């Protein structure tokens, strides 16, 4: 398929949506001059998948007493339970139980959305929405605003004292450094995720095309590049963990009290 296209491009409304978006020109924040709407449609597709998944799982756990007994095989319910438990286990040592329970919906949602968006890129003919800087920067911006909103909520106006540093006579130097470091966070979160997923999707696509070409010319049964798919699965998981881990660290630092 052409670069920037996927099976979702065959949807009836895609061409009209693409033309309407093209009328505004490329995004000033995009790394692709022809930014298109592929990442938007792919992201909406991921949200649809997660919506269906949540409905199916919620019906499984509607009966609380029956849900206490775990299922004896890997099902959608057990997958979601393991996923949520893993996110909780990552957050709890840094935040504590009380804060983890409060922020689990936020970090857990980021984990599900980013993980499924990354996995979409492993399916031939689909493009992950996380290989676009507009998508990943939006995710980073959510964490950025959440960090400072809950920081102010926890400490009040005194939260902004953190930007001045521990030594008062160095406040003039610490303030610009702290401001730059905080404003760069959503950018680095977005660029890190976008760059890794773009590279992963590109490498995987090259090897799949190479093996398909060898199969067509030689007429031999060439095995699917399992190794590259294995590496792709590792990248998909690691990038999800890194984004959620850094997000947890940023929020933990914002709501932490001195001496804790």
The per-residue pLDDT for range 36-67, each reduced to its tens digit, is 788 889 999 999 999 999 999 988 887 777 77
d(CA 171, CA 177): 10
What are the residues whose beta carbons fall under 8 Å from the beta carbon of 241, sequence distance 6 or more? 90
**Position 120 in a domain:** yes
Q: Higher pLDDT residue, 250 or 210? A: 250
* pLDDT score for 259: 46
The mean pLDDT of the chain is: 84
pLDDT grade for 161, boundaries at 50, 70 and 90: confident
Rounded to a whole number of angstroms, the distance between the first and last alpha carbons of the chain is 53
pLDDT confidence bin for 196, thresholds 50/70/90: very high
Do the beta carbons of residue 249 and residue 94 sit within 8 Å? yes
Structural domain count, the chain: 1
90, 245 Cβ separation under 8 angstroms: yes
d(CA 20, CA 212): 35
Task: Look at residue 8 and tell me if it is in a domain.
Answer: no
Question: How crowded is residue 70: how many other Cβ atoms within 10 Å of its Cβ?
Answer: 11
Decide if 10 is inside a domain.
no
Domain containing residue 91? 22-255
On whether residue 13 sits in a domain, the answer given is no
Asked whether residue 49 is domain-assigned, the answer is yes
What DSSP designation does 29 have?
T
User: Is 9 part of a structural domain of the chain?
Assistant: no
Contact criterion met (CB below 8 Å) for 176 and 219: no
Q: Which two tokens stand for residue 96?
A: 């504590």
Residue 5 falls within a domain, yes or no?
Answer: no
């Amino acid at each position: 398929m052409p670069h920037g296209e996927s099976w979702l491009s065959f949807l009836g409304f895609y061409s009209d949506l693409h033309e309407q978006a093209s009328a505004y020109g490329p995004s000033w924040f995009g790394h692709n001059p022809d930014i298109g709407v592929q990442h938007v449609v792919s992201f909406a597709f991921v949200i649809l998948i997660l919506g269906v998944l949540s409905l199916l799982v919620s019906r499984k756990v509607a009966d609380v007493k029956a849900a206490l007994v775990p299922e004896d095989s890997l099902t959608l319910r057990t997958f979601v339970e393991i996923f949520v438990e893993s996110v909780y286990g990552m957050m709890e040592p840094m935040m504590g139980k009380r804060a983890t329970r409060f922020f689990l919906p936020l970090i857990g949602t980021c984990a599900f959305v980013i993980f499924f968006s990354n996995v979409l890129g492993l399916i031939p003919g689909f493009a992950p929405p996380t290989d676009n800087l507009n998508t990943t920067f939006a995710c980073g911006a959510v964490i950025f605003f959440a960090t400072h909103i809950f920081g102010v909520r926890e400490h009040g106006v005194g939260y902004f004292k953190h930007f001045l540093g521990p030594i008062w006579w160095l406040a003039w130097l610490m303030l610009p450094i702290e401001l730059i470091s905080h404003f760069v966070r959503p950018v680095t979160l977005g660029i890190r995720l976008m760059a890794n997923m773009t590279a992963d999707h590109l490498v995987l696509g090259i090897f799949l095309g190479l093996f398909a070409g060898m199969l067509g010319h030689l007429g031999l049964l060439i095995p699917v590049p399992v190794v590259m798919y294995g590496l792709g699965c590792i990248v998909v998981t690691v990038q999800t963990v890194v984004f959620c881990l850094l997000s947890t660290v940023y929020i933990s630092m914002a709501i932490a009290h001195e001496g804790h």
